[in-house]
Amino acid sequence: MSQRTIVITGGAGVLGQAVARRASASGDRVVLLDRADIGEATDLAGDLRIGGVDLTDPDSAGKAFETIAETCGGIDALLNIAGGFAWETLEDGSVDSWERMFAINLRTAVTASKTALPWLKSSGSGRIVNVGAAGAIKSDMGMGAYAASKAGVARLTESLSRELLGQVTVNAVLPSIIDTPANRADMPDADPADWVAPDDLAAAILFLASDDARAITGALLPVTGRV
């Protein structure tokens, strides 16, 4: 099988890098997209690094994906990992937080997916894997904006899987708490062993992006550890 080109949005983050390391070890060509300036960050796993990309902006995304396609000869898989989290009650929080969560969690996935579609469809084995959240199925206090935006990712996954049926598979993982330095700092009394290790979540993402998952589309896969 020829080398595949896998694009990872949020590629410089903890999960993005876990996926990049696994994909590189499997022989895939890995492209990192990130809002941060990562072009010269040679310490990051990945074959091509494109920074300064605003995935809420179709023009910025379009330039980045055109560069990828020209450099790599196409795109076979898009892994929408870019996103963020905010804990905020409605009473004490800001309405702007809802717009921010929808922008970084849902709009980025919509923009990247739409922009990459021509190349994914011509791949012959195109894959989109989104990162949703278990909290989108059952939310909790302070997680309204985040959970609502991730529920949007789930509905995008289901809708797009039907739109692209027989052309590109579209699936999502629904993690609980991911074991990251930020989450450890925010929850110092919790036991991270109960959480989802980034490498374990990366394995699930890359399975859905693999040829072995060719018969799976529209799936929302819980990856929740012991939470």
Report the sign of the C-alpha dihedral through residues 73, 34, 60, 131, in that order. Answer: positive
Query: If you search the block for the tokens 């060719």, which residue do you land on?
Result: 214
Question: Phi-psi region for residue 178, left (φ > 0), alpha (ψ -120 to 50) or beta?
Answer: beta
Structure tokens at 30: 């890995």
Active site residues: 146
Maximum Cα interatomic distance, the chain, rounded to a whole number of Å: 54
Please, what is the Cα angle at 144 between 178 and 107, to 5 degrees? 75
Rounded CA separation 20/32 (Å): 8
Q: Is 59 helix (H, G, I), strand (E, B) or coil?
A: helix
Alpha helices in 164-217 (DSSP H): 181-186, 198-208
SS3 for 5? strand
- List the Cα angle 96/99/101 in 5-degree steps: 110
Q: How many Å apart are CA 93 and CA 73, to the nearest integer?
A: 46
